[in-house]
Amino acid sequence: MTLTPQQAREILETAEQVCSAAEVAKVVARMAGEISTVLAESFPLVLCVMRGSVMFAGKLLPMLRFPLEFDYLDVTRYGSSTRGGEISWKMTPGTAVAGRVVLVLDDILDEGRTLAAVREKLLAAGASRVYCAVFAEKDIGRAKPARADFVGMRVPNRYVFGFGMDVRGAWRHLPEIYALKED
């Protein structure tokens, strides 16, 4: 269900900021250093998971001062909902992954089902190694089927939005992160 502009404004007005824009920038810079240490010599294929990781990728990639190839994939469990459902593949990478070191960039590691499916698909396509970098990992209090190799920050077990993460299609473009008001 699409939000009206007024509904979107009300969501932001009642939300709690959990990470400022300045904190986001520091996290991305730290992650760029960590990723560079591990992958600088591998000429990786970097895959941005659409649409959520666009902001993360846009801030991170200019900080990676080593050769890489860039592409994207489009997979989701959320659509316009605030609850995850079945995995939906909209686009797989156009670049061949066979024999490549691949770095997957995603906005958030929530339950881990999407990241596990992405890793499995890339390894089945012949990737020699798949690394995953997520800007945020949600503390859900239970084991996940996938782990990220690089994690920017931990967020509470609440619905969060901003810096690539949306709430019913809105507020993905914010430079900071918010959590929905708790009921």
Query: Angle CA(87)–CA(89)–CA(93) in degrees, nearest 5?
Result: 135
Look at residues 121, 176, 110 and name the one whose alpha carbon lies nearest to residue 148. Answer: 110
Q: Is 110 a catalytic residue?
A: yes
| Other C-beta atoms lying within 10 Å of the C-beta of residue 88 | 12
Q: Of 71, 106, 107, 110, which is the active-site residue?
A: 110
Of 142, 85, 70, whose CA–CA distance to 117 is shortest?
85
CA 116/CA 94 separation, integer angstroms = 20
Are the CB atoms for 152 and 106 separated by under 8 Å?
A: no
Catalytic residue positions, numbered: 110
